[in-house]
Amino acid sequence: MLSICGERGRFDSFRSVGRTHTAAGRVRVHHDERIEAFYTSRAWRRCRESYLNSKGRLCEICLQKGLIEPAVHVHHRQPITPDNLKNPAVTLNHANLMALCERCHAEQHHARRWRCDPDGYVRL
């Protein structure tokens, strides 16, 4: 659950992720440094592009509802943790991924009250 800390517009708590406050009051959400490194790795970038292309770059949940929305996120069905980070069956396996639009990705993370902008900052 998100909560506002003492300073206006700054979030105080995120469970399994870290946060960085900016002067503009935005919050950059980030994971463990090892997980951050994975998301910038060449292997992940290639896997992500390959998966998006295999799904026509469309949101899988919206397609099931008969809607056409571009996918902007590749979501891990089984979340990446420091314990499974080195397991390619979790991190790079197409069977563990979903191509999602912004809205569906937020719903997968139960984040209906906020969204992330393209830079990864939390917006209300």
Residue 18 in any domain: the answer is: no
User: What band does 29 get if pLDDT is binned at 50, 70 and 90?
Assistant: low
Q: How many domains does the chain have?
A: 1
In this prediction, residues 111-116 reach a mean pLDDT of 57
The residue range of the domain holding 54 is: 33-111
Model confidence over 37-51: pLDDT tens digits?
999 999 999 999 999
Residue 103 in any domain: the answer is: yes
d(CA 115, CA 124): 7
Burial class for 100, CB neighbours closer than 10 Å (0-12, 13-18, 19+) = buried
The candidate with the shortest Cα–Cα distance to 102, out of 66, 70, 79, is: 70
Whether the per-residue pLDDT at 85 is higher than 90: the answer is: yes
**Residue 49 Cα to chain centre, angstroms:** 15
Whether the per-residue pLDDT at 53 is higher than 90: the answer is: yes
In this prediction, residues 98-119 reach a mean pLDDT of 78
pLDDT in the model for residue 113: 55
- pTM across the whole model: 0.65
List Cβ neighbours of 40 (8 Å cut-off, separation of 6 or more).
none
